[in-house]
Structure 1
């Protein structure tokens, strides 16, 4: 009897126990690999967006130079979070997620077609969230919410803070200079000291320090297991430290420039100097950050198994934007013509001279210049896409040099049946003033700002009128308050249709 029991134990029972173990191991492997399969699927389906992002991530001297290391770290943390639990959810939730995936995919197609890059790139995040919720369940998505938000620090949405950060840095550093009573003239983002001119330009906004410090604060919060309240406090402290590092850097450069009469090598190359200050300020904060013992969040292998059918369904749900993009590229071969316009009765005549303050605009399809009585200058820049890959509304950043000109006033006003942007500019350390009125025509739709023009690309593209026109009127002020000059420009702009 003992021999029979030994044979049964050796030959039967272990073999029966091997099958569940192998099944669990395979299930665990699938639960670890599936998030990476979803990410690979998103890259394949929306490849043009990732190509555009890659060009920003490889500009090592700009605000997203940290993107590749951050994304690599995100993938490592995603791997360490596995195996990710597949939670059961009701069919109607799956149906809602499926509808949301289809509409988000179509939204990506629209943004990609009309070349609104920031919205196109932002669409990747909801696509990732919805895809993982569809595969793993909404409950699991909520458990991973802090980790899955980490890639937001690799998207160029932060660039829209740059102008505000330049103004903030100018104000804070200006106050620091006033406190120590250095002889200096502070004019907007320019600081004039006896030995020269220090300009707080875009690169001095502190945006890079801000994003990296926020990303570090977010990572520390995630690793230490902070909840929402702790995360918010951590981000506030990290953001303040990143900005403070930049303000101290600029202030020290002003001191160096003042005491060396602008002869120090730091005045020409201060990149490394800035990162040293950043490290001296932020690394101690990282070291002394409170640590909360994080419980083991690795989910047990449950009975819900990975479904290859659900992955195939996900491919179908993500595909509408991909295939619509292929159709548009194949059919969009229409050659557009320039828009027509009337200059009204303001007395505009063709003129070869440039505007009093020449604009910095992308290369145009056609440019026309005119002049009217009272030295009112008009410039019309027209853009017509030559192919489906060209933007209807090109990228327009600052139209004048901040090193020499200061924006004193800007507002949107109604002129006749359109809205225009009225702007008053002053030459730094001088009295010369320029008044400018500008508006845009996007396929027959008028806009006063570039952001509005970007949105109006949608009806313009689908109406078939793919042209973009910039109308700019300028005149030099002959009075201190520029009131008469503004009225003359507004009257002239009303007659242009």
Structure 2
């Protein structure tokens, strides 16, 4: 007995006591969530379309199509915990939708596919938080976080993985006693030549391994350290395995005189090798399984697991209204921006400059090299001749008369991979007249017939020059928001050389010292030809 004469409460009784809340019954909440999800798909359809296009056209991100079903399965495993909760719409979720809408608006203004697809994926957890509440979101934290594996991101790792794969392949080949010459991602042995292309970087194996490893660790383990250890192995093992895979392909080709492990054979071998490695990883991980223990239910206090009883629901109406407004606001702003761009559309054309000390601009007929860039709205190709040599000047022009440009795209390349291959790329700072500095991105190309070429390129947006794609996207967003009419430019200067790249650098530097720092763009009314 306590001082008030009441018997003390049993903790088990407290844990199982009904908890009143201001929420919705599950059928209504799920119907509202499904409706909101369909509305979001319609409002943010450009991002949904790009997401599905990447899944269906990129082998690297094809796994994205199965992430949502896997996440739904993971939700199903928590159904008993969810049955004890009451969906309570949260104003925090409405705020999350509003913030994602702002990111969407900027992503559309800058035409950044990565940002748009991120918002599409992130809207699902935000809608869960807004319409089903914090307690439900807490229980579904892992299934909702797992959805981000459907977001097609990871290309920034490709060059690093290519470098590592080439390095370990060359090291193992030399340890095997095979004469090996390597130059960047290109490997030559007596039997033939090989290249560690982007598709051979192992990014697909890495993403698939981590995606499978996370689900396995979540379902099989309960302790945090075992989960982290297994996920860590899911990252390290495929990277090492891809290096061994590339080495094995070259070794088989060497033993068979290039009859096997080339063409389709190396793809089949790669996936069989990856499947075997993952089988070993999961087999070893099964010795430490803990799935006989119950999953922990995150929550605050013992009342989190108590059955919920619905209370008055009038307080949720403002929250639902705020979520609806937040969902619509960004697409409405995007429609205004598109209307503004169309209304201010005009004719803008870059102009080939006169360069002191150089003959030109001369017509550039059938250039030896052109950038493998998206088709521009306008193109200028000119040749200049001087005492220092010959320079090819090429400009690709992209206008703002539609949402987005193709100046920065994942598949834009300086080299075409067929006639020209990239040997080296770096950022270089060039001294101009008067002591000014101008940054260029330098690419050393080698042709199929032994011809070498040095290419300097940069971007010009809203009258400013840069070599950084991220800065280009930010400047493009600013240009659209402010009504800038000049458009975006890819500017390249290139020259061939025989003795070495220093000769070509002097030629290009001498040209840029006399050329205008920015490409002039004439604007007016009318349609571009």
Per the normalisation by structure 1, the TM-score is 0.83
Q: Give the drift of 1:229.
A: 4.1
> Which among 342, 364, 375 is matched to residue 352 of structure 1?
364
Q: Give the drift of 1:279.
A: 1.1
Cα distance, 1:150–1:217 mapped onto 2, change above 3 Å = same
**TM alignment of 1:101-140, pairs within 5 A:** 101-138=97-134, 140=136
Residue 492 of structure 2 corresponds to 472
> Which among 309, 317, 342 is matched to residue 303 of structure 1?
309
Q: Please give the secondary structure, in 2, of the residue aligned with 1:149.
A: helix
Q: Give the drift of 1:418.
A: 6.2
Q: Please give the secondary structure, in 2, of the residue aligned with 1:366.
A: strand
Q: Please give the secondary structure, in 2, of the residue aligned with 1:181.
A: coil
State the number of aligned residues.
Answer: 470
1:326 aligns with 2:326: no
Residue-by-residue CA offset, 1:382-416 (whole Å, 9 max, x unaligned):
32347424526352532114575343351242555
Cα distance, 1:470–1:262 mapped onto 2, change above 3 Å = same
Deviates more, 1:146-155 or 1:393-402: 393-402
> Which among 206, 211, 226 is matched to residue 210 of structure 1?
206
Do 1:57 and 1:68's aligned partners in 2 also have CA atoms closer than 8 Å? yes
Between the aligned partners of 1:391 and 1:108, the Cα distance in structure 2 is 16
Q: Please give the secondary structure, in 2, of the residue aligned with 1:338.
A: strand
Q: Please give the secondary structure, in 1, of the residue aligned with 2:349.
A: coil
**TM alignment of 1:52-67, pairs within 5 A:** 52-59=50-57, 62-67=59-64
Between the aligned partners of 2:48 and 2:511, the Cα distance in structure 1 is 45
Q: Give the drift of 1:54.
A: 0.4
Cα distance, 1:282–1:33 mapped onto 2, change above 3 Å = farther
Between the aligned partners of 2:348 and 2:423, the Cα distance in structure 1 is 35
Deviates more, 1:121-130 or 1:360-369: 121-130
> Which among 412, 415, 426 is matched to residue 397 of structure 1?
412
> Which among 430, 437, 461 is matched to residue 442 of structure 1?
461
Structure 1 alignment gaps of length 5 or more: 1-19
The list of structure 1 runs, each at least 4 consecutive aligned residues, that deviate by more than 6 angstroms after superposition, is 428-431
Q: Please give the secondary structure, in 2, of the residue aligned with 1:420.
A: strand
1:335 aligns with 2:359: no
Do 1:185 and 1:193's aligned partners in 2 also have CA atoms closer than 8 Å? yes
Q: Give the drift of 1:221.
A: 2.0
Cα distance, 1:315–1:421 mapped onto 2, change above 3 Å = same
Between the aligned partners of 2:175 and 2:310, the Cα distance in structure 1 is 66
Between the aligned partners of 1:414 and 1:129, the Cα distance in structure 2 is 48
1:485 aligns with 2:504: yes
Residue 377 of structure 1 corresponds to 391
1:146 aligns with 2:142: yes
> Which among 40, 43, 57 is matched to residue 41 of structure 2?
43
Between the aligned partners of 2:93 and 2:437, the Cα distance in structure 1 is 41
Between the aligned partners of 2:429 and 2:397, the Cα distance in structure 1 is 25
Q: Give the drift of 1:120.
A: 1.6
Residue 80 of structure 1 corresponds to 77
Residue-by-residue CA offset, 1:439-476 (whole Å, 9 max, x unaligned):
11113221113332122211121232341212111223
Residue 363 of structure 1 corresponds to 375
Cα distance, 1:122–1:251 mapped onto 2, change above 3 Å = same
The two structures, once aligned, show a CA RMSD in angstroms of 3.3
Q: Give the drift of 1:420.
A: 2.2
**TM alignment of 1:398-477, pairs within 5 A:** 398-401=413-416, 405-413=421-429, 415-416=431-432, 419-425=438-444, 427=446, 433-466=452-485, 467-477=487-497
Between the aligned partners of 2:330 and 2:400, the Cα distance in structure 1 is 23
Do 2:168 and 2:244's aligned partners in 1 also have CA atoms closer than 8 Å? no
Do 1:165 and 1:206's aligned partners in 2 also have CA atoms closer than 8 Å? yes
Per the normalisation by structure 2, the TM-score is 0.79
Do 1:187 and 1:428's aligned partners in 2 also have CA atoms closer than 8 Å? no
Between the aligned partners of 1:234 and 1:35, the Cα distance in structure 2 is 34
Between the aligned partners of 1:160 and 1:462, the Cα distance in structure 2 is 28
1:255 aligns with 2:236: no
Structure 2 alignment gaps of length 5 or more: 1-17, 299-304, 519-529
Between the aligned partners of 1:110 and 1:326, the Cα distance in structure 2 is 13
Residue-by-residue CA offset, 1:191-245 (whole Å, 9 max, x unaligned):
2122321121111011111100000011112223546544432222112222233
Q: Give the drift of 1:55.
A: 0.6
Residue 294 of structure 1 corresponds to 294
Between the aligned partners of 2:461 and 2:177, the Cα distance in structure 1 is 51
